[in-house]
Amino acid sequence: MEVTPVSDIMGAEVTGVDLSVPMDAETQCALRDAFLKYQVLVIRDQHLTPLQQVEFSSQWGELEIPDNVQHTHGDSNRVMILSNEIRPDGSAVGVVDGGDFWHSDSSHHTVPSMITILQSVRHPSKGGDTEFCNMYKVYEDLPEETKAKIEGKLGVHHVSKVKNKRVTVSPDRPGAKDFYEMQAKTREDVLQPLVLTHPETGRKALYCSPRFTLGIQGMTEEEADPILDELFGYITDRKRRWHYRHKWQDNDLVFWDNRCVCHRAVGGYGLPDIRCLHRTVVAGDRAYTDQQAA
Ligand code: SIN
């Protein structure tokens, strides 16, 4: 197995492994080391069936069962389909607007996702990249004054897009507005530390995102907004100083560490061009607020 960095900032390509067969303990260990060191791993030319993807993903921990059952794969309810394909009856084959704003997966849950694993099944002729932001580097780059302002503070996270003035609801996803309105009514806010000490590496990372973080506990909107805008400015930074952009090929398998990485689907494609990925998610093993309370 060889590990080659894909940028100076984060990410590495791993070659010499076949993920469709079980890995020996030594390879597994080397892959975990690379994962913790580079945060995003790219493994090309993998042809995993949904069940093989589940098998590979399960080596990293327990898998989440996606909420939206109608977009899971027929072979396994652990595999969610991300796709812009619309059936003749108007229904969507997969999640159409998945990841369209910067976020860390499921930070709106008390126990957020740990690792997200995507395999490209079909790639559009143009567009469809995924961008990643290294949240360790962002944290390290913050002015000391900002670090002091956010130390020990908790961000307020919510899944509903209609509660969040920084995002919009995609017109391409059938029924999206009703779905997010229902979530606004039925889901509670969740608190997460703004600075997360990674449970395995011990490094500090900024932990918030324009998609899910709406405020800061104990602050008014007027107090929290300038701080959040400053923090989000590092993630959306035009110069992309702390970022890696993955240009997909069919059969790429990419996975990342949600504890220290924000990501977004860049878009830039449209029907009849189809983008389809299979997504599995390793569940988190702890609530971060239990570990590092304000
Ligand atoms: C995601 O946010 O999990 C999906 C990212 C993508 O589709 O590029």
Q: Which residues contact 123 (CB under 8 A, 6 or more apart)?
A: 248, 249, 250, 275
pLDDT (tens digit per residue) in 153-177 = 999 999 999 999 999 988 877 788 8
Residue 213, beta-bridge partner list: 157
Cβ neighbours of residue 184 closer than 8 Å, sequence gap 6 or more: 158, 160, 162, 163
CA of 294 to the centre of ligand 1 (A): 31
Per-residue confidence (pLDDT) for residue 290, from 0 to 100: 67
Q: Burial of 135 by CB count in 10 Å (0-12 exposed, 13-18 middle, 19+ buried)?
A: buried
Give ∠ CA 69-70-75 in degrees, rounded to 5: 75
Does the CB atom of residue 265 touch ligand 1 within 6 A?
Answer: yes
* Ligand 1 neighbour 104 (Cβ under 6 A): no
Please count the residues of the chain: 294
- Does residue 291 register a pLDDT over 80? no
Q: Tell me the longest C-alpha to C-alpha distance in the chain.
A: 55
- Ligand 1 atom index nearest CA of 275: 7
Using the structure block, give the residue that is written with the tokens 């309810």. 77
Question: How many whole angstroms from 149 Cα to the centroid of ligand 1?
Answer: 31
More confident: 191 or 23? 191
Per the omega criterion (within 30 degrees of 0), is the bond before 272 cis? yes
Pocket test for ligand 1, best of 104, 279, 282 (most atoms within 8 A of CB): 279
Put the strands of the sheet holding 243-246 in their side by side order. Answer: 243-246, 130-134, 261-265
Q: How far is the CA of 268 from the centre of ligand 1 (A)?
A: 13
Which pLDDT belongs to residue 176? 80
Binding site membership of 261 for ligand 1 (Cβ less than 6 Å): no
Please work out whether the CB of residue 82 comes within 6 Å of at least one atom of ligand 1: yes
Would you say the CB of residue 119 lies under 6 angstroms from ligand 1?
A: no
pTM over 0.85: yes
Query: Average of pLDDT values for 18-43?
Result: 96
- Whether 98 lines ligand 1, by a CB cut-off of 6 Å, is yes
Mutate to test the pocket of ligand 1, among 79, 82, 96 (most ligand atoms within 8 A of CB): 82
CB neighbours of residue 62 within 10 Å: 14
What is the set of domains in the chain, with CATH numbers? 2-293 (3.60.130.10)
Would you list the DSSP string of 29-40?
HHHHHHHHHHSE
pLDDT (mean) for 81-92: 93
243: nearest Cα among 137, 156, 107: 137
Among 175-179, 199-203, 245-249, the minimum mean pLDDT is found in 175-179
**Alpha carbon distance 163, 281 (integer Å):** 25
3-state helix, strand, coil in the chain (%, to 5): 25, 25, 50
What confidence tier does 293 reach under pLDDT thresholds 50, 70, 90? Answer: very low
